[in-house]
Amino acid sequence: MSGSRLEMANRVATGVLALAVVAAGVLSNPVVQAVHLGVSAALFVGGCVAFTAGFARAVGRSRTEEIDLAGLFYLTGSAPPEVRRRLLGLWFAQIAVATVSVFITSPPFAVMAPVWGIGVLTLWSSRHGKFQTRRPRSG
């Protein structure tokens, strides 16, 4: 998935999460609660998969590049500032929605969802991030 498609998927996921939390907070319908759970669980599992795939790719890249954790997880120095701002902003929005869900839904399934955001950050940086070339070891 290209960087722009990954970012678009992240935008859609954040919007769907927000809608699910608002709907679950307003309506106490079992179907709405099931959708809230389904969306939250899908984002959690998808985030775990994205994080694992991104981390594995980063491990492979670390043979030839100096992968630092701030660049991998938070795009510090590894992404253009606009991309970093947008992806971190979406992750922070997911965290905010999850926080609000604690107060307006019961149970607050959305607390699982921000795993999606850190997974997307890791996957994006492992695929598209710019890291310094590893220098040969001396000695």
Specify if 44 maps to a domain: yes
Taking only the tens place, the pLDDT of each residue in 48-95 is 999 999 999 999 999 999 999 999 999 999 999 999 999 999 999 999
Specify if 136 maps to a domain: no
Specify if 87 maps to a domain: yes
Where do the DSSP E strands lie in 25-112?
65-66
Structural domain of 99: 3-129
Specify if 101 maps to a domain: yes
How many domains does the chain fold into? Answer: 1
Over its C-alpha atoms, the chain yields an Rg (Å, rounded) of 17
Taking only the tens place, the pLDDT of each residue in 103-132 is 999 999 999 999 999 999 999 999 999 999
Q: C-alpha angle 113/70/11, rounded to 5°?
A: 35
pTM of the model: 0.93
Peptide bond into 80 cis (omega under 30): no
